[in-house]
Amino acid sequence: MIKTEKLTFNYSGEQPNVLKDIDIEIKNGEFVAVLGHNGSGKSTLAKHFNAILLPVGGTVYANGINTKDESRLYDIRRAIGMVFQNPDNQIVATIVEEDVAFAPENLGVPTAEIRETVDWALDTVGMTEYKQHAPHLLSGGQKQRIAIAGVLAMKPKCIVLDEPTAMLDPIGRKEVMDTLMHLNSKNAMTIVLITHNMDEAVNADRVIIISDGEIVKDAPPHIVFSDVDEIKALGLDVPQVTELMYELRKAGLDVPSGVITIEDAYKALSEVAG
Ligand SMILES: Nc1ncnc2c1ncn2[C@@H]1O[C@H](COP(=O)(O)OP(=O)(O)O)[C@@H](O)[C@H]1O
Ligand SMILES: [Mg+2]
């Protein structure tokens, strides 16, 4: 779905490279989380996935298309949708269903087809009952789900989300995460989620950690989070339950590393308790 080969990038010749020799392959149907401290290059990387930025060195393929091929920009943007941090910046209309219809309308999709697509997109994000509402009156989580519906209306194969939950409260964060997991499991949508929240990252098939423009980890979450000291040395946290098990292990309890779910923690603690 997305492939980068020795991707290198800087915003200006005087600046050191912000991305350095990045090799990533994201397959169709995968759910990948991208982590990294502030300024590590996450947003810059994400913008290469649908040709908002073009490599200075190396190559990016989006849905098999070289992003440097200007004649295919439309195909790239249709295949790979982007959702950003602030839902308010992504809403363009005063009625929810008009907002979701905005992109296909601009593309000249026939009206009947648009109606069907918009209904499907709103249903998929669980916002059908709000279709006549004013977006600015909705909660942050609801607005972000509308933004996701707006991207879905383009019928993409992949959605890249750059810290979509950063401005949301816990309920909004859960709404958005549930929506993404549903899209991935039920609609086989490829999801690339950039996040600061480790408890969100454990839901991914794979976690990629980027540090100062380089990939330092690329593995399933229980592997990535098994070395707590290493993750902390990268300036990152681990999931709450992983932290708890880490502290218990340090205190001398015989519990395994790489525990990332409450269920596994419960199992490990039951075994210790006998
Ligand atoms: N438009 C820009 N012009 C110049 N430098 C930028 C620009 N955007 C980001 N940078 C720099 O690129 C580096 C990576 O930034 P970014 O990709 O936004 O990181 P992240 O999303 O991980 O916080 C940082 O050093 C940042 O200051
Ligand atoms: Mg960023």
Look over the chain and give the mean of its residue pLDDT values, rounded to a whole number: 94
Please tell me whether residue 265 adopts helix, strand or coil conformation. helix
Pocket test for ligand 1, best of 7, 9, 11 (most atoms within 8 A of CB): 11
239 lines ligand 1 (CB under 6 A): no
Q: Is the pLDDT of residue 184 over 90?
A: yes
For 130, residues 6+ apart whose C-beta sits below 8 A from its C-beta are: 96, 122, 138, 142, 146
pLDDT of residue 106: 86
The answer as to CATH 3.40.50.300 being correct for domain 2-222 is: yes
Terminal CA-to-CA distance of the chain, rounded, Å? 46
Phi first, then psi: what are they for 134, rounded to 5°?
-90, 125
Tens-digit pLDDT profile for residues 216-255: 999 999 999 999 999 999 999 999 999 999 999 999 999 9
Tens-digit pLDDT profile for residues 86-121: 999 999 999 999 999 998 898 888 899 999 999 999
Instruction: Point out which residues pair with 32 in neighbouring strands.
Output: 192, 206
The percentage of residues in the chain with a pLDDT greater than 70, rounded to a whole number, is 100
36 lines ligand 1 (CB under 6 A): yes
The predicted model gives 21-37 an average pLDDT of: 97
Q: Looking at the whole model, is its pTM more than 0.85?
A: yes
Residue nearest (by alpha carbon) to ligand 1 atom 18: 43
Q: Which atom of ligand 1 is nearest to the CA of 213?
A: 14
Instruction: Point out which residues pair with 214 in neighbouring strands.
Output: 211
Percent helix, strand, coil in the chain, to 5, is 45, 20, 35
CA distance 194 to 53: 17
The residue extents of the domains of the chain are 2-222
11 lines ligand 1 (CB under 6 A): yes
